[in-house]
Amino acid sequence: MKIIAIIPYILKDLQNNPKYPNILPWPQDFRSAFEVLHEAMGKLPRTKDNFRLLVKWFESIVNLCNEHLICKPVERIRTIGRDEIPEHVRENYERCKAIYDRFMDDYMDFAKDMNKQFAEKVARDYFQVPKGL
């Protein structure tokens, strides 16, 4: 799940700017949640119920990271003002945002297909995507 952590590490570059204090929590705090999920994937028996459980677990982690490490910090930056964002941070963000947006689009398409195959809503098929800097 390195793709989710890329944008927060780029935004972390703004932490030294007094205009953007405490913009986001430390991304490492969320990484352990993925590690526990990955470990559980290898241990749980392969059943429909466990599959649903793992999908919901994954979605919860993605939603937390998306909301608290990306969307909310970007909104705060946009509210405070974007005039002091160094060009290299803005360029890196936009480049990584394009990759992240593709990841989220692919996941949402996967979720829609899975919901069709199960003939019920098994997976969340919509997440807010971050705005540009």
Average pLDDT estimate for 92-104: 92
pLDDT, one tens digit per residue, over 25-53 is 666 667 778 788 888 888 999 998 999 99
Q: Which of 130, 97, 126 is nearest to 111 (CA)?
A: 126
Check: pTM over 0.85? Answer yes or no.
no
Contacts of 96 (CB under 8 A, 6+ apart): 6, 7, 10
Do the Cβ atoms of 8 and 24 come closer than 8 Å? Answer: yes
Across the chain, how many H-helices and E-strands are there? Answer: 5, 0
Rounded CA separation 110/125 (Å) = 8
Q: Which pLDDT does position 55 carry in this prediction?
A: 92
Q: What percent of the chain has pLDDT above 90?
A: 39
Q: Which of 93, 103, 38, 88 is nearest to 70 (CA)?
A: 93
For residue 129, pLDDT beyond 80: yes
Q: Which helix (H) or strand (E) holds 62?
A: helix 48-65
